[in-house]
Structure 1
Amino acid sequence: MAYIIEPWNGISLNLSDGPFTLSDSLSINLDFVWISFPPLPWVSPSITAEYTAPLFTAGIAGSSNLIQQIAALSTDDLRSVLWSTAGAAQQNSQIRFNVANTSDDARMSIWSLAESVAGSQVLPWNYTGTADGQHASVWGFALQSDRTGFVSGWVMNTRYRDRIATLDWFSVNLNGFIYDDSAAMLALLNNDNPLAINLDFSGVPAALESATKIRLQFGFVKPKRPSVPHDISRTITARKATPRDTTRLIPWGAGTSVWNNWNLPYPVDNGPPIPPDPIDPPARKIVYLIMNTLQVTDVATGTPLDIQGVNISVDIDSLSWKFSGTVYGQGTLDLVRPDEDGMKDIHVTINTHEWVFSIERYTSDEKFPTTKFSISGVSRTQYMAAPFAPVRSYTNSSATTAAQAANAELENTGFALAWPTAGDGDLPDWIIPAGALSYRDKTPAQVVAQIVTTAGGVMIPSMDADSWIIQPRYKTSPWNWDTVTPDAAIYIGMVRSRSARYEPAPAYDSCFVSGVSQGVSVDVQRAGSGGLNPMPDVLDDLITAAAPAISRGRNELAATGNKVVETLSVLIPEQGAAPGVLRPGQIITVTHDNPDSDYVGLVIANSISVQKAGGAEIYQSVTLERRA
């Protein structure tokens, strides 16, 4: 839209500091919008004011930029010559060459008719010869200068921009960081220092680069610098690089549908279920002979500790393993109790399975003649949670992935995450846009749990290392457990006792998962169910892609329906023998002599108890969740 500004011969612009260029002289194009940055706050829409004046047939002489805005003047109008018949001149001078007078008779030379000399130059006196015919031209038309090859019926707005621009060659900066110009752009927006520019074309030619337009460009100009690869992370992720520095007239880009229905319209018969690959089954014996061992040492000095009555436990929602035991003697207590340097670590070995715990508290039970203390502690992963880890608040300023954001919380702490994403039973990774991850007063473990639970995942703490395993709560949905390959197997002959309780719950078949301020919305349905019985909607700020929405919806549906929670008291064989120490999140099968009695369940908790001195009796109480 053109805005008429009067008077047109003077324009006063008061603008913030910024570079501008002048390219033409007869029109002013004011563009206050930088093509890759949102509009300036005081202008919307862009203002364009143009002043044009007709150019007549006179060309640009000598490529001069000094242009008078007047009509071209005809040159040499009064010098035209009419070529016509020349009047007769010196008619009286005509001489007829006749008989020459005789002279020099002595030489016997008779003068006769004179020979014609330079006869080729005989020209009738009534015609004027043409001079410099090769320079003949039609007077009244100005010649075009310095515009070789230009053909136009009218004056065209021919631009010569960028013809003298030179390219700066850089080597790619492979180890650099992605440039962030947001601070520089913000500084321009918040700059209140005035800058006055006066343009006055009243009768004074403007010395410009070209002759048809003036363009003032204000805004941030990126410095010339080498390119930096966008994917310079030290870990390779299967994802598409985030677009940056794209020239878009619409800041938010192309629109995409936020509604995805991942349910097949009708069930598909894939044939009979494929039996899972066999695992190493436990040895089936009538009697199991195991030499149980319990060893507890001080990590700092390696001193054996007199600790009995050991209990170790964990569940699927725990950030760490829990420990409790009984210490005999003040000397042993002094080696493990917390002091001004913090908590002390102990090393526990049960049938070659190892744990490391930090002792956080103790209580006394002094009765003559013995001195007995009860101690308790946690595995080292608890250091990333309250009250040991500091809290902070944060909002991501640039796009990242879920795995990168979770690992960033543990940077420089010595703790790590094992987050596989390639397998069918793994928790997916996804893109988190800028501003989507925001929290206040949280510890690193809380932030990682927030990210992981968004996609329906859990954090399984390590027994003796400073790490977690990240996986879905249900690596395989319960309705597919008949075809899954279990992580471990328990033979019913290894079970000392068992108990179970029935837990009824609605059997939902549809779950609507959606982001809040940004993201996607996905209706996750069990294939073939039709989604006729939906569960309450799930809303999460970090649902910014379809992959975490599908994973979250599947795990939410997997937890519904009638189920049986069963506890099995199972012996613990040595390292490498089935079933080993069972961890939460594992899918195990309980085998019987009659295969029809076999069933599959999900380990949701485990508790190990050493009942007698020296480890005479050691059992693990495994809690399973299975379908009713």
Structure 2
Amino acid sequence: MATRRRDIELRWLYPGRTKRTWRIPWGLAKRIPWIVVPPKPPKPPPPDDTFPPGDRVGLNLGCPAIDVRGLAPLNLGVTACYAVRPTRRTYIVLNSILVVRLPDRLPIEVDAVSIAQSIDAWGATFDLSLCDPEQLELLKPNANGPREIEVTLNGYVWTAIVEAYNSRKEFVAGGVSISGRSRTALLAGPYAPARTKVAPLQRTAAQLVGEELASTGYTADYDTVDWVVPADAWYYDNTTPLDAISRIAEASGAVVQSDPEELTLRIRPRYPTSPWDWPDTTPDAVLQDDIVTSVNLQVVSQPLFDAVVVTGETAGKGVTVRVKRNGEAGTLYAPQVSHPLTNTAAVGAEHGRNILGDRGEQASVDLTFPLFPAPLAAGETGRVLPLDLVEVQASEGTWHGQCTAVRFDARTDGKALVIEQTITLERHYSDAD
């Protein structure tokens, strides 16, 4: 029993050996296949957020800085311009009126004043109602000519000559009213004599204007294109100095305006800034619709001219200029114009620019609002004159227009003195806004 157990143990300790044969095949290896793995497609970009992150906000600072003490508004675009504009629930105006006779400054009592001026006339017209009819004797002409007066409305000054009066007598009511024009009327008929002239020497247009005002006490503010006029090219017959100056201004498409206060004539282009440049031009006045008490609009349509021919009239001294709007075909011509002083391409081009400014869809907009005295506070508008560029901030958006006429009215409304101005703006839909 012991021997058998040992045999078993030996077999477990020394297992039997088994022969195995291994064969490894030898031969040419297969070619490694060429595999091009395409790049992984990029991940699509994340969708744009409705609102950019706070450090990447583009600011459209489209509004002019508002000069309000202690306030630094952040104006963002046209809509925000209207939203953040300085508005007030109440506007208080302390109106004042003063009329004196010149040069002794004798006070004249009036209860109503109306002053009107437009770009189509060189001067303003005046109508005044006298409180005391006996003061009419103080304003009648004397040996030196018509009487001169000075009118001040809320600090703004005008001067005029008294040319006519009207006396009304009624059982209960009555009164005396006087009328006149700007003092530059003394350069026109019937006060200034008509003359005949030929300029024998070469002169510039500004020099020709200066010669018309020599020894008159009047000056010229010449603010338009100037050019050389050849000898003997400028002549006229039976013409007053003011009419001659107006004729010189017409050659470049300019107009003549009287300074409200001084003895000065202003010669300026009919369009100091072309309508297509109005939105990018600093305006002369800003008007908010909060202070407007009356609006009247009349649509005006003109063909969309893009070219015009301007020519001279004197053989050998004139030129012919074809003026075309930049960037346009130049195929729809405005009626041809001619002038004896179209002597250079520069004056012809300026005349043509002013002609092409009056084109396309337009509107004549009358706006009535108070005449705020200077210095102006936020949201207030002072005196506006013809040729001023006005920016109107309205609820429907901001737009620009050039003042073509203005009327100032001062009257007694019960016990209060009311002073308003009504301006007529030429608004362009085709070329501006």
Q: TM exceeds 0.5?
A: yes
Structure 2 contact 302–358 (Cα < 8 Å) conserved: no
Q: Does 1:616 align with 2:417?
A: yes
Distance 1:388 1:432 in 2: 29
Question: Equivalent residue of 1:485, what SS?
Answer: coil
Structure 1 contact 455–549 (Cα < 8 Å) conserved: yes
Distance 1:325 1:562 in 2: 38
Gaps of 5+ in 2: 1-60, 69-84
2:55 is aligned to none
Compute the displacement of 1:284 (Å): 2.9
2:229 is aligned to 432
Distance 1:276 1:409 in 2: 45
Distance 1:319 1:611 in 2: 26
Q: Does 1:363 align with 2:166?
A: yes
Distance 1:360 1:280 in 2: 43
Q: Does 1:526 align with 2:325?
A: yes
Matched-pair identity in %: 30
Q: 2:242 aligns with which of 424, 439, 445?
A: 445
CA deviations 1:234-283 (Å, max 9, x no partner) are xxxxxxxxxxxxxxxxxxxxxxxxxxxxxxxxxxxxxxxx9797686995
**Cα distance, 1:412–1:279 mapped onto 2, change above 3 Å:** farther
1:64 is aligned to none
**Cα distance, 1:355–1:403 mapped onto 2, change above 3 Å:** same
Distance 1:494 1:360 in 2: 35
Question: Equivalent residue of 2:137, what SS?
Answer: helix
2:261 is aligned to 464
Structure 1 contact 356–463 (Cα < 8 Å) conserved: yes
Question: Equivalent residue of 2:286, what SS?
Answer: strand
1:584 is aligned to 386
Q: How many residues align?
A: 348
Question: Equivalent residue of 1:458, what SS?
Answer: strand
CA deviations 1:72-97 (Å, max 9, x no partner) are xxxxxxxxxxxxxxxxxxxxxxxxxx
Q: Does 1:605 align with 2:402?
A: no
Gaps of 5+ in 1: 1-273, 421-426
Which is worse superposed, 482-491 or 283-292? Answer: 283-292
Compute the displacement of 1:430 (Å): 0.2
TM-score by length of 2: 0.76
**Cα distance, 1:275–1:412 mapped onto 2, change above 3 Å:** farther
Structure 1 contact 316–585 (Cα < 8 Å) conserved: yes
Specify the code of the residue in structure 1 equivalent to 2:404. Answer: I
Question: Equivalent residue of 1:465, what SS?
Answer: coil
Distance 1:277 1:394 in 2: 50
Compute the displacement of 1:337 (Å): 2.0
Distance 2:66 2:358 in 1: 26
**Cα distance, 1:341–1:516 mapped onto 2, change above 3 Å:** closer
Q: 1:482 aligns with which of 261, 275, 279?
A: 279
Distance 2:416 2:128 in 1: 13
Q: Does 1:315 align with 2:118?
A: yes
**Cα distance, 1:290–1:437 mapped onto 2, change above 3 Å:** same
For residues 125-524 of structure 1, the aligned pairs below 5 Å read: 284-368=87-171, 372-420=175-223, 427-517=224-314, 518-524=317-323
Distance 2:229 2:248 in 1: 10
Which is worse superposed, 404-413 or 468-477? Answer: 468-477
CA deviations 1:16-47 (Å, max 9, x no partner) are xxxxxxxxxxxxxxxxxxxxxxxxxxxxxxxx
Specify the code of the residue in structure 2 equivalent to 1:417. Answer: A
Specify the code of the residue in structure 2 equivalent to 1:599. Answer: W
TM-score by length of 1: 0.53
Structure number with the higher strand fraction is 2
CA deviations 1:291-344 (Å, max 9, x no partner) are 111111222432221212210010012121111011233421111122344211
Structure 1 contact 563–626 (Cα < 8 Å) conserved: yes
Compute the displacement of 1:433 (Å): 0.1
**Cα distance, 1:491–1:277 mapped onto 2, change above 3 Å:** closer
Structure 1 contact 608–619 (Cα < 8 Å) conserved: yes
For the pair shown, the structure with the greater C-alpha radius of gyration is: 1
CA deviations 1:74-133 (Å, max 9, x no partner) are xxxxxxxxxxxxxxxxxxxxxxxxxxxxxxxxxxxxxxxxxxxxxxxxxxxxxxxxxxxx
Distance 1:610 1:528 in 2: 47
